[in-house]
Amino acid sequence: MLDIQNLSKVYETKTGTVTGVDNVSLTIAEGEVFGIVGYSGAGKSSLLRCINLLERPTSGSIVVNDRDITKLSTEELRKARLKIGMIFQHFHLISQKTVGDNIAFALKAARVPKGKRQERVKELLSMVGLSDKIDVYPSQLSGGQKQRVGIARALANNPSILLCDEATSALDPNTTLSILHLLKKINRELNITIVLITHEMDVVKEICDRMAVMQDGRVIEEGSVYDIFSNPKTALAQEFISSVVSFHVPDAILKEVKGSLVKVLFKGKVAGQGIISDTIAKYHVRGNFLHGTIEYIQDQPLGLFLMELNGEQANVEKAIAYMEERGAHVEVIDNVL
């Protein structure tokens, strides 16, 4: 378990102090994939660097496997850090060393005897699907392959936590997906807790169990990815969600809306129960879809539809009440434009 309490990081600069992390408390369970989103400057990297003490927090505690790592001696900290792997947006591989030597270097730093390093390097490269690249230099690899090497290196010393700082931000969408699948596989097979920071909600949607939203150094919203996607509370979370689930309808179309405009949200199994068609048949209303999507978040459907309901007002009201009775969440939009 990773338990962060009241963590703050204040940077001293020539022109004054800058608060990178402002009193953040987060508890991340063992084996969880936890996403942290926020815009540039929100404090994501500062928080991540504090978690493995690349950066000394100004105050607060970070308990990893029952030990507060902010209180460790230098030697104890060196050992504790080996159990926290990290991968970066720009990979940070050593260009003069081969793929195999990049990974062996991490083993050397952890004082693994020379004779045992090669076997482990092979094992790690096989895990990330790059066995044939052991003698190649980083410049001969694609971005996705470089990140696989970064992952292999981060896993070299069997960490219990893997921190990912914008690990897929430099990659194209397909490569991003393959790296995310690899991270998920590592999480499942090795039971490694993953904390990843990103500004892409697609990344969070793809692999995270829970998430936090950061702004100005603070965590302003936290919860399961499904809950935040289905019911974002802060304006910032809503903004992030809208990048994945967009409901933009052109004004010209909205102007033509004559009936009641409703936003219907179905969670989980409810999404597949044909509620809309039942409602339309039962109350003799007509439904005109303006927008709609079913997103799958951790294999759970989340249905979102924007529709116009036409018919006698009393029937429209009954139809809305019926959909809610069946478990949908319905919001009537009064100001259409």
Ligand X SMILES: Nc1ncnc2c1ncn2[C@@H]1O[C@H](COP(=O)(O)OP(=O)(O)OP(=O)(O)O)[C@@H](O)[C@H]1O
Residues at the contact surface with Mg ion, assessed by CB under 5 A: 45
Residue 224: name the closest of 212, 237, 233 by CA.
212
- Which residue's CB is nearer to Mg ion, number 36 or number 207? 36
Q: Which of 45, 147, 168, 260 binds ligand X (CB under 6 A)?
A: 45
* Separation between Cα atoms, residue 37 and residue 44, nearest integer Å: 7
* Closer CB to ligand X, 20 or 138, in the complex: 20
How many positions of this chain bind ligand X (CB under 6 A)? 13
Rounded distance, CA 225 to CA 35, Å?
9
Minimum CB–partner distance for residue 302 and ligand X (Å): 27
Query: Quick one: 38 or 150, whose CB is closer to ligand X?
Result: 38
- 46 makes contact with ligand X (CB under 6 A): yes
Q: Which of 31, 41, 143, 223 lies at the binding interface for ligand X (CB under 6 A)?
A: 41
Residue 18 within binding range of ligand X, rule CB under 6 A:
yes
Q: Which residues contact 221 (CB under 8 A, 6 or more apart)?
A: 212, 213, 228, 232, 233, 234, 236, 237
CB of 22 to ligand X, least distance (A): 10
Residue 319 interacting partner from ligand X, Mg ion, none (CB closer than 5 to 8 Å by kind): none
Count of H-run helices and E-run strands, the chain: 12, 14
Q: Would you say the C-alpha torsion 177, 183, 186, 191 has a positive or negative sign?
A: negative
Contact pick of 35, 38, 100, 303 for ligand X (by CB under 6 A): 38
In the bound complex, what is the minimum distance in angstroms from residue 43's beta carbon to Mg ion?
Answer: 8
Residue ranges of alpha helices (H) inside 191-265 are: 201-207, 225-230, 235-242, 251-255
Least distance CB 45 / ligand X (angstroms): 3
What's the CA gap between 233 and 327, in Å, rounded? 20
Burial class (CB in 10 A: 0-12, 13-18, 19+), 329: middle
Is residue 23 a contact point for ligand X (CB under 6 A)? no
Query: Residue 20 binds which one of Mg ion, ligand X, none, with CB within 5 to 8 A depending on kind?
Result: ligand X
* Residue of 129, 155, 157 lying closest to 142 (CA atoms): 129
Closest distance between Mg ion and the C-beta of residue 45, in Å?
A: 3
Of 222 and 308, nearer to ligand X (C-beta) is: 222
Is 44 an interacting residue with respect to ligand X (CB under 6 A)?
A: yes
Question: Quick one: what does residue 38 bind among Mg ion, ligand X, none, with the CB cut-off 5 to 8 Å set by partner type?
Answer: ligand X
Task: Give 45 or 52: the residue with its C-beta nearer to Mg ion.
Answer: 45
**Measured at the alpha carbon of residue 116, what is the angle toward residues 189 and 103, in degrees to the nearest 5?**
65
Return the residue matching tokens 């969670």: 267
Contact flags string 167-206 toward ligand X, x per CB under 6 A:
--------------------------------x-------
42 in contact with ligand X (CB under 6 A): yes
Helix boundaries (H) for 83-230: 99-109, 114-127, 143-155, 173-190, 201-207, 225-230
Q: Which residues bind ligand X (CB under 6 A)?
A: 11, 13, 18, 20, 38, 40-46, 199
